[in-house]
């Protein structure tokens, strides 16, 4: 049986904006990805069009401390904001 640490659920491809996944055994965490949509945000003296999506992280707190979960989610957010750094 395959062991996994982080499960990924993407209901965004079905048009769901935001949701909270339930951690499936044997995973300890599930990252839920919502629909990406265009919006206008303030930036450098004006406004810019940006794609926004929701990420929700649910963890089994018997296995992972909330601090490490928050750190992981911040890491994912930074990588998505600057994908050129992945190359």
Model confidence, pTM: 0.81
Q: Is 75 an annotated catalytic residue? A: no
The predicted model gives 59-76 an average pLDDT of: 92
pLDDT at 5: 85
Quick: pLDDT tens for 9-38: 999 999 999 999 999 988 999 999 999 999
Please name the fold of domain 6-86: Chloramphenicol Acetyltransferase (3.30.559)
- For residue 1, pLDDT beyond 80: no
Q: Which is the catalytic residue, given 17, 60, 65, 75? A: 65
pLDDT at 2: 54
Inter-residue contact 48 to 67 (CB < 8 Å): no
Closest-CA residue to 54 (of 16, 14, 82, 83) = 16
């Amino acid at each position: 049986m395959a062991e996994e640490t982080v499960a990924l659920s993407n209901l965004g491809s079905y048009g769901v904006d935001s949701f909270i996944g339930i951690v499936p055994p044997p995973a300890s965490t599930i990252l839920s990805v919502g629909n990406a949509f265009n919006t206008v945000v303030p930036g450098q003296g004006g406004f810019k069009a940006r794609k926004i999506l929701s990420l929700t992280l649910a963890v089994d707190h018997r296995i992972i401390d909330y601090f490490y979960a928050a750190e992981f989610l911040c890491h994912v957010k930074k990588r998505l904001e600057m994908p050129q750094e992945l190359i």
